[in-house]
Amino acid sequence: MPAKILVSACLMGHAVRYDGQSKPLLHPAVDRWRAEGRLVTICPEMSAGMPVPRPPAEIAAGAVGSDVLAGSAGVIEINGRDVTEDFVRAAENALSLAQETNCRFALLIDGSPSCGPGFVYDGSFSGARHPGAGVTAALLATHGVEVYSDKQIDALVARIEGLEEPR
């Protein structure tokens, strides 16, 4: 059976980002996977009932998603509102969907406090970022879903092709 891929809705052209925009990922593999029915699209934040647009949010104090999941860090909006519970619920929703649809892989937008697999912003709302995963990316990875950023699409293509080559 072809590998299924959980993908950030914003990468599929849906205007679901905090600022009401999308960040479409244009790549022949995405078009092929869409045609093959492999893509399972989600915006974790919207699945948790968060509105679009919404205030920017960052993981506080230079922490990362695994810290949020462990209860030692929070996700805070620029206005100071704590949205940690929303982001944890969003991650749980994404994991649930990935498990229900047998997604072995996830293709997520980097930088997001939810989806970012490679880097997140440091909580200062200054544009400073550091290595680490967002809440959803961290939860998926701890449950065996291989997580790739939009910048790693070619690595994901190679990984999937390596699995599906005839033996």
pLDDT, block means (10 residues), the chain with 167 residues: 93 97 97 96 98 98 98 98 98 98 98 97 97 98 98 96 74
The DSSP output letter for 60 is G
Q: What is the total count of domains within the chain? A: 1
Map residue 26 onto helix, strand or coil: coil
Residue with tokens 């929703």: 93
Residue 104: the pLDDT is 97
Residue pair 108/147 in contact (Cβ under 8 Å)? The answer is yes
Residue with tokens 């022949």: 28
Residue 166: the pLDDT is 61
56: containing domain? 4-164
Hey, what are 74's tokens? 């929070």
Residue 164: the pLDDT is 75
What is the C-alpha to C-alpha distance for residues 30 and 26, in angstroms, rounded to an integer?
A: 7
For the entire predicted model, the pTM comes to 0.96
